[in-house]
Amino acid sequence: MWRMRVVHTTGYVYDAPVTRSFNEARLTPRADSRQTVILNRVETVPATRAYRYADYWGTQVTAFDLHAPHTELEVTGASVVETEPDGGPTEELAWEKLQTEEIIDRFDELLEPTEYVPRDRRLATVARQLSRSVPPAKAVVRAAEWVHSEMDYLAGTTSVHTSAVQAFAERQGVCQDYAHLTLVLLRAMGIPSRYVSGYLHPQPSAAIGESVAGQSHAWVEAWTGGWWGYDPTNNIPINEQHVSVGVGRDYADVTPLKGIFSGDGSTDLEVVVEVTRLA
């Protein structure tokens, strides 16, 4: 088990004063069988009154409005979380069970294509090949391994708006693209699957008390009788270094910070993530 502190700061600078803004922050780690949230707070400068709710997918959202003119906005999510390894699939269903009407109806939204995770004939053929002669749980790992081998990790080649098929055409991308591409394969196989956003401590043997530059990260969870996760970017099971925040169909459901504002100015954006292993 690890205990980590994560501080995620997002700063906006506007060219002209913004008169009003309405915002949603998804910066609160999940509390589940693998994670215990010890502390979490989301603060803004300028200060504002916020309220919290769980969205449709169960992600904790901090919503806040600003109604005074401002030229800068800083949003900081600070958390202390205890994490454990995922443990892998707890129950492994056969393909016949996954393909029943009951399961398909239950997980319909996590089997359907989205803008980021579209259907693709060529990738559907790859999915059939990867799932041949193995149970669903093994097919999940095969899909992640295939994505890891086919893609080169290269920042700047894609954007937050790039779909899985667009990234695959270039064979380059970042963790968001690896996760979306894996979801294309899993949904083509008929395996319910979802996108996970969070953080990754970059050092497996991290020194206790040392703060390092962390990473916003993304991976996938598959349902093969129960939910479990895998990290296709690093081709590893989910472990103590992973801190999960949001789940959904794709990136659009888990954007860390989004909103609308009234004003004429364009924006400059800076994001800093700092992680510290505490125990």
Is the distance from CB of 165 to CB of 124 less than 8 angstroms?
Answer: no
Residue 201 has pLDDT above 80, yes or no: yes
DSSP character at residue 162: -
Split at pLDDT 50, 70, 90, the class of 265 is low
99 pLDDT above the threshold of 80: yes
Reported pTM: 0.95
Tokens found for residue 83: 């994490």
- All structural domains of the chain, each given as residue ranges with its CATH number in brackets, are 2-84+255-277 (2.60.40.2250), 95-253 (3.10.620.30)
Q: What is the pLDDT of residue 143?
A: 98
Pairwise CA distance, residues 183 & 174, whole Å: 14
Where do we find the tokens 């906005």?
73
Nearest CA-CA partner of 108 in 168, 33, 193? 193
pLDDT, tens only, 27-85: 999 999 999 999 999 999 999 999 999 999 999 999 999 999 999 999 999 999 999 99
- Determine the Cα–Cα distance for residues 238 and 82; give it in Å rounded to an integer: 14
Banded pLDDT at 191 (limits 50, 70, 90): very high
Tell how strand 193-200 and strand 242-248 pair up.
antiparallel
Nearest to 190 by CA among 93, 58, 89, 115: 93
**Using CA atoms, how far apart are residues 266 and 253, in angstroms rounded to an integer?**
24
Instruction: Give the three-state DSSP class for 160.
Output: coil
Helix (H) or strand (E) holding 266: none
Segment 4-22 mean pLDDT: 93
Number of Cβ atoms within 10 Å of the Cβ of 91: 10
